[in-house]
Amino acid sequence: MARVPCDLRFLLIPAAFMFIYIQMRLFQTQSQYADRLSSALESENHCTSQLRSLIDQVSTKQSRILALEDLKNRQDQQLVQLKDLIHTFESKGIAKLTQGGQQGPLAAVVIMACSRADYLERTVNSVLKYQSPIASKYPLFISQDGSNQAVKSKSLSYTQLTYMQHLDFEPVITERPGELIAYYKIARHYKWALDQLFYKHKFSRVIILEDDMEIAPDFFDYFEAAARLMDRDGTIMAASSWNDNGQKQFVHDPYALYRSDFFPGLGWMLKRSTWDELSPKWPKAYPYIRLSISMAMENHKGRQFVRPEVCRTYNFGEHGSSLGQFFSQYLEPIKLNDVKVDWNAMDLGYLTEGNYTKYFSGLVRQARPIQGSDLVLKAQNINGDVRIRYEDQAEFERIAGEFGIFEEWKDGVPRTAYKGIVVFRIQTTRRVFLVGPDSVMQLGI
């Protein structure tokens, strides 16, 4: 019985070792968990720090966005105020220009400009020379296409006119091979400018000039007489200051005016009622402006244009969108009228629809017919007017080439023609009539 306690002591020794081992394992496991917990806490602190940094960045950017939005709102308000101010200045400028005219201006005068500041200066100076004393009748505008700074600065340097700017950022897609993009830009500019003057500024007439033109001393008197004529006769679609065959050797009489089925352009006056027809179908490219006007004429048969024998504008633009085409042969020799005609004393009743056919057919009837070869020599040897018949466009071009006038046709009409007849002078006073195959019948001769 005394050996039992001794055996129990031996059993307690392994149990003690087992307990110690278990405690050591628990301590090791606790240490591992403590390390992992410490690492997790460190990661959490790092993530928290990064999150706070991101929150700070977002807050900063939100503050910047709010500041930019506030700046944009202020700029939008300033833009509205600036537009209102510009509109006020334009209105005041036009009111100042028209002040003193009880019946308002007769016509606005607009100079179409783009990128030729030197040309523009020459044109403006020529216009102001004769416009300044009658500025209330003819408010002057410059309409610039694009943002050429030299042209803009030059335009704004004049206090006697109103400046308009057409900014067109729409890309141009040409419809025909070889077409110049400039022609599309010009057409867009013309439509915009005329819409502005007729519909925004409410002018009843507009005289259109280009930035490479000089005007004659009686330019404005001529258009005042033309305005009265257009009001009197609705079959006159527009009045022009230009004659395509106005070279020095082909003109003589500064008092002579003609009707024409061909739109001359290059210094012309249009009424708002006519623009109402043209604006919706204005062409996309400049060379087709003549076609657009011809289309309007097709809807109202019998309408023509009035033009002078001696030009009231001179085109000095050797370099431009047409690349100097025909300049040395046809434009440079143009005769600019230097006679101060008193148009108020002139009776222009012969130009009205009911009278002109009779008047013009009388001139053609009195001309002596010639034919065959050496037409120029024959015409020079006859004392008086002559008429020469052509059968088609090819024969017209051959005869026109012999005399040196424009051979070109546009839209089936010879330049300057009235009922197929082209008239010009040779040897000062003598007229030459190139008569088409149907012209005599149309005139009732």
Helix (H) or strand (E) holding 429: none
Per-residue pLDDT at 419: 95
| Euclidean distance between CA atoms 205 and 17, whole angstroms | 120
Per-residue pLDDT at 322: 52
pLDDT tens for each residue of 154-209: 999 999 999 999 998 888 888 778 778 888 888 899 999 999 999 999 999 999 99
Domain CATH code at residue 388: 3.10.180.20
Per-residue pLDDT at 30: 73
Domain shared by 280 and 370, yes or no: no
Dig out the tokens for 17 from the structure.
């070792």
Domain shared by 377 and 344, yes or no: no
Q: Does the pLDDT value for residue 11 go beyond 90?
A: no
Mean pLDDT of 77-85: 60
User: What is the domain extent for residue 190?
Assistant: 86-96+103-168+180-319+326-351
Asked whether residue 426 is assigned to any structural domain, the reply reads: yes
Domain shared by 278 and 397, yes or no: no
pLDDT tens for each residue of 307-327: 999 999 999 988 764 545 568
Q: Identify the CA nearest to 360 among candidates 304, 430, 309, 419.
A: 419
Asked whether residue 438 is assigned to any structural domain, the reply reads: yes
Residues in the chain: 445
CB 269 within 8 A of CB 203: no
* 424-434: burial string, b at 16+ Cβ within 10 Å, e else: bbbeeebbbbb
| Euclidean distance between CA atoms 343 and 345, whole angstroms | 5
Q: Which residues pair with 240 in a beta bridge?
A: 268
Q: What is the DSSP string of 112-134?
A: EESS-HHHHHHHHHHHHHHHGGG
Q: How confident is the model at residue 39 (pLDDT cuts 50, 70, 90)?
A: confident
Domain shared by 378 and 314, yes or no: no
How does the average pLDDT of the chain come out, rounded?
86
N-term to C-term CA, the chain: 170
Q: Does the pLDDT value for residue 429 go beyond 70?
A: yes
| Residue 2 burial (CB count, 10 A) | 5
Domain CATH code at residue 163: 3.90.550.10
Mean pLDDT of 369-385: 95
Domain shared by 338 and 378, yes or no: no
State the burial class of residue 40 (Cβ atoms within 10 Å of its Cβ: 0-12, 13-18, 19+): exposed
pLDDT tens for each residue of 327-337: 888 899 999 99
Per-residue pLDDT at 177: 80
pTM (whole model) above 0.75? yes
| Euclidean distance between CA atoms 12 and 21, whole angstroms | 14
Q: Does the pLDDT value for residue 279 go beyond 60?
A: yes
CB 284 within 8 A of CB 299: no
Work out whether strand 413-414 and strand 409-410 pair parallel, antiparallel, or are unpaired.
antiparallel
Mean pLDDT of 437-442: 92
Contacts of 223-227 with CB under 8 Å at 24 or more apart are 223/106, 223/107, 223/269, 224/106, 224/137, 224/343, 224/344, 225/343, 225/344, 225/346, 225/348, 226/269, 226/306, 227/106, 227/107, 227/269
Asked whether residue 6 is assigned to any structural domain, the reply reads: no
Q: Identify the CA nearest to 273 among candidates 227, 204, 352, 225.
A: 204
Q: Does the pLDDT value for residue 298 go beyond 70?
A: no
Give how many domains the chain has, as a whole number: 2
| Euclidean distance between CA atoms 189 and 165, whole angstroms | 9
Per-residue pLDDT at 100: 44
- What radius of gyration do the chain's Cα atoms show? 42
pLDDT tens for each residue of 119-158: 999 999 999 999 999 999 999 999 999 999 999 999 999 9
Asked whether residue 340 is assigned to any structural domain, the reply reads: yes
Q: What is each CA distance from 381 to 85, 375, 377, 384, 433, in whole angstroms?
A: 68, 10, 6, 9, 16
Q: Does the pLDDT value for residue 25 go beyond 50?
A: yes
Domain shared by 339 and 369, yes or no: no
Domain shared by 347 and 407, yes or no: no
Angle between helices 149-156 and 117-131 (to 10 degrees): 20
Domain shared by 120 and 92, yes or no: yes
Q: Does the pLDDT value for residue 253 go beyond 90?
A: yes
In one-letter notation, the amino acid at residue 85 is: L
For the chain, give the percent of residues with pLDDT over 70: 86
Helix/strand/coil for 360: helix
Domain shared by 218 and 304, yes or no: yes
Asked whether residue 67 is assigned to any structural domain, the reply reads: no
Asked whether residue 73 is assigned to any structural domain, the reply reads: no
Domain shared by 396 and 309, yes or no: no
State the burial class of residue 154 (Cβ atoms within 10 Å of its Cβ: 0-12, 13-18, 19+): buried
CB 324 within 8 A of CB 318: yes
Work out whether strand 304-308 and strand 236-240 pair parallel, antiparallel, or are unpaired.
parallel
Per-residue pLDDT at 323: 47
Q: What is each CA distance from 156 to 111, 124, 347, in whole angstroms?
A: 13, 12, 40
In one-letter notation, the amino acid at residue 164 is: M
Domain shared by 114 and 193, yes or no: yes
Domain shared by 107 and 191, yes or no: yes
CB 409 within 8 A of CB 232: no
Per-residue pLDDT at 86: 59
